[in-house]
Amino acid sequence: MMNRPDAAGHLRGETTYIDDIPEPRGLLFAALRLSESPRGRIIRIDSEAALGLDSSVRIITAADIPGENQIGSAVPDEPLLPDPEWDYRGQPLVLCLASTRELARAAARLVIIESEMLVPLLDERESAVRGDFILPPRTQRSGAFDVHGEGGGDGSALYAEILAAGGLVLEGRVDSGGQEHVYLETQGALAERREGDRMVVVSSTQGVSVTQRAVARILGLPQHRVEVEARKLGGGFGGKEDQATPWACLAALGAWVSRRPVKLVLDRATDMRATGKRHPYSSDFRIGATKEGIITAFEVDYYQNSGSTCDLSPAILSRSLFHAAGAYRIPNLRATGRMCRTNLPSFTAFRGFGAPQAFFVVEAAIEALAGRLGIDPVEIRRRNLLREGDLTHYGMRLEGVRAAEAFDRLLEKVEWKRLRADIDAWNSTHPLEMRGAAIIPNCFGISFTKLPMNRGGALVHVYLDGSVLVSTGAVEMGQQVSRKIARVAARSLGVPLDFIRVERTSSLTVANTVPTAASTGSDLNGAAARVACLEIRSRLVAKAAAMLSLPENELDIVEGRVMREGQATELDWTRLIAAADEARVDLSAHGFYATPELFYDGEAEKGSPFAYHVYGAALVEARLDVLRGTARVTRVEVVHDAGSGLDPIVDRGQIEGALAQGLGWALLEELKFGEDGRLLSDALATYKLPDIKFLEAEPAIEFLPESHNDRAVLGSKAVGEPPLIYGLAGYFAVLDAIRAAKGRPVEYWNLPMVPEKILGLLSGGDERAVEAKAAKGDTGSADGLANGGRVQGRTR
């Protein structure tokens, strides 16, 4: 078992989450009355029956908010409680408090909401036709599509040139569904109003400062009177970045109004109905390539279903645009993204943050090319991989490119040509059980796409017994960011790992933090901790030099001993700390880190928004039961670029977890809403997750040879989000098996590939018919690529 300080507590169920915190005296429990239609207007709220239930019951509405009824961070479009209109089914309308959880829930059921129903809008393409966008559309261009470049424009001349040379120009539609986070610990918060009109909130949040600002805004308080703390989270995956905010604010509002502690913890059903998920996308593409399969042009229109409010949609759309080309060098590219407002819960951050949706589109386009050209899609991918020094469509020069290195190593490892022949031979003799395989490359940019967020802070104390306490803005949610930061601190100070403790995250210790998200938790907070540790270390080395009468540049601290040119001196860490204290040397330091050399011109849509990129490749093999329409994953091989990894065991675990989530999104997890805006997959009985039997064999993960990454702490590379992309290989592996069963190319791009869709494709039905059945609607695109009309699901 991994040597983790918290492992035993997790196994014994001793880890303390929000609902395990000892309940303060006078605690009130909170429950919510949720809207039962996707759009409406409150006329009157009748609380009489609810208040008569018990003397402890308190009903709180928008009228009770002492500050501003607004929690939107990027755009002020999200009231905490509706006043008077609500915008999605499952939106909190009323907060109910009572002395027990059961009483609070009973009171919520008794509240009568007199209302007027309004006409909802649920489909992103219909929203685009109406021009109902949260923010104006964005477009990135390069080459022939760059209106500022020589001969730039709509690319018509380029397409004509491609066709004249015997190449192909194809168009298609790609749809990818949403995804439920299913964190083990549901959303929750515990709030208490304390002496001096201070508000203290313990929240299951990935963004302590985001939550602090929102609570202060709602209560009309300065931020220094609001303390927000995040202990260990029972999972997050992006779902607790901005979406933890309303529950913390509601708990704080209840505590402020009642002057008693308030706990609000959502049950699983409420959590699934009332929170946002991964954004569904519907996209149109056009791709042009030579007859040899070299991609020369690519256009894509993303229709992002943003839900009812802005939330994090702009940043997620940014990442989709930045990753439009996937891991490929495409000289002429146009990518346009639209944030389509609908009357569904606001879709939000999810591991991958908009990149998986973009990768799916370009990979589907490549599969379409391969089918038409009669070339193995793996070979087309290999021919178009990024190379050192390539310029992205947004103007960033790439350095340290390892795309081909990872891809070629994977081909060698799995013996691709032999494997392909074995699969074809099997399929020729096993008509009821088909095999399929696919390989997907990866190129994933690391940084927040909102440049001011690329910063981290830390506070480090060395105590007189030599032990060390490190506080940062990083929130521990099972991803072991605390372990990585502890390793950074230990290496930076020169002490054993067990000397270090990483403190829970609080707005009191490190201010103005950014959320633990975008795979930057270790990078930013680890670098800030290193800055603080190196400052303390420099003071201690100076003290040691004075004690030993030696030059500072000859001394080092290694594993708790002062060393001179590799040899131990008589000074150890404990003696040095004692001497430093006697000499009144400061044993505390604050560290701050801001990622250097990032810039982006939003007007020109050009710049270098990422610190670096992570590369890799994955193979997925699948078997298809032709009669039942079910598929199972039988083999996964990954080659991944981790730089000089901080902790290979943690990195391996992160790859396995992200891969499982990616495969779940691609093959199992179908998020479905009814025509009335009701979430149909609203329970774990109706939302299928990967289980312990989902992968028949343990994924084989190989790290590329270590390569020092000078753009992150101690040469490492982020690992949280990039591996989710590998799950897309599962979709294309199953599609490969379906093609073998049908004996012809199948051009169908609608994720996830669940059994109902598989059976529709196997039953002899045309892909367009299956697409029509799976699609959410049949309205036209606002400016689709096929003569202004809807581009069909099948590539033409």
| Active-site amino acid positions | 721
**Phi/psi of residue 592, each to 5°?**
-135, 140
DSSP E strand stretches across 143-213: 168-176, 188-194, 198-203
Give the Cα separation of 735 and 718 in Å (integer): 30
Instruction: For residue 642, give the amino acid letter.
Output: A
**In sequence order, what are the beta bridge partners of 188?**
265
Helices 313-322 and 355-373, packing angle to 10 deg: 30
Enumerate residues 6+ apart whose C-beta is below 8 A from 613: 398, 400, 401, 443, 444, 445, 446
Write the DSSP assignment of 55-90 as a string of letters: TT-EEE-GGG-SS-S---SSSS---SS-SSEE-STT
The first and second tokens of residue 264, run together, are 């609000």
The first and second tokens of residue 514, run together, are 């950014």
Quick one: CA torsion of 304, 310, 311, 316, rounded to 10 degrees?
40
3-state secondary structure of 543: helix
CA 68 to the chain's CA centroid: 29
Distances from the Cα of 100 to the Cα of 26, 50, 334, 614, angstroms: 11, 14, 56, 49
The one-character DSSP state at 752 is S
Angle in degrees, CA 733, 736, 739, rounded to 5: 155
Give the Cα separation of 184 and 689 in Å (integer): 13
Give the Cα separation of 182 and 445 in Å (integer): 25
* 403, containing H or E segment: helix 403-414
Helices 767-774 and 755-762, packing angle to 10 deg: 150
Closest CA to 59 of 91, 93, 97: 97
Q: Tokens 């990195």 — which residue?
A: 651
DSSP count for the chain of H helices, then E strands? 20, 30
Distances from the Cα of 406 to the Cα of 329, 411, 639, 673, angstroms: 16, 9, 6, 39
The first and second tokens of residue 675, run together, are 């025509």
Query: Are residues 735 and 366 in contact, defined by beta-carbon separation less than 8 angstroms?
Result: no
Give just the sign of the alpha carbon dihedral 576, 579, 583, 585.
Answer: positive
The one-character DSSP state at 391 is B
Helices 755-762 and 728-742, packing angle to 10 deg: 20
